[in-house]
Amino acid sequence: MQRDFEVSDPNTMVNEFMTEHDKREDAKQGSSNDWVQKTSLYREFLAEREEIMKHKWLESEKAGHDIGFERALVEWVSKYRTGWRRNRQQTAGIKGSGGAS
């Protein structure tokens, strides 16, 4: 593909290519990945990610600077994940065990 302008940063061309490539791949896959988003595993992943992001925000506020996702992830998993999962399973058990269907 011929360009009418010069790219000052060689990474710009690579990034543009990858972005276009990703868009084409997404269009090819289309609804084939929709089933993934409907799985309970994916929903659990999203719920955990949301909790990690909350933890990141709270701890960053306390520290007065962004602590970063990796630190927040490690801290949340080591301190809170087990209790969060247990609570989530108990809540799901309560919701699923009683009442009319």
Instruction: Determine the residue type at 57.
Output: W
In this predicted structure, the answer to whether residue 47 has a pLDDT above a threshold of 90 is: yes
Burial 49-74 (b: 16+ CB within 10 A, else e): eebbeebbeebeeeeeeebeeeebbe
Q: Tell me the average pLDDT of the chain.
A: 78
User: pTM surpassing 0.75?
Assistant: no
> Is 95 part of a structural domain of the chain?
no
pLDDT tier, 37 (very low <50, low <70, confident <90, very high otherwise) = confident
Q: Which domain covers residue 74, as residue numbers? A: 38-85
Tell me which residue of 50, 70, 54, 74 sits closest to 62, measured CA to CA: 54
> Is 70 part of a structural domain of the chain?
yes
> Is 3 part of a structural domain of the chain?
no
Q: For residue 1, with 0-12 CB atoms within 10 Å meaning exposed, 13-18 middle and 19 or more buried, which class applies?
A: exposed
pLDDT (average), residues 73-88: 95
Number of domains in the chain: 1
Instruction: Compute the distance between CA of residue 96 and CA of residue 90 in angstroms, rounded to an integer.
Output: 10
Given this model, what pLDDT does residue 51 score? 95
pLDDT (average), residues 61-69: 96
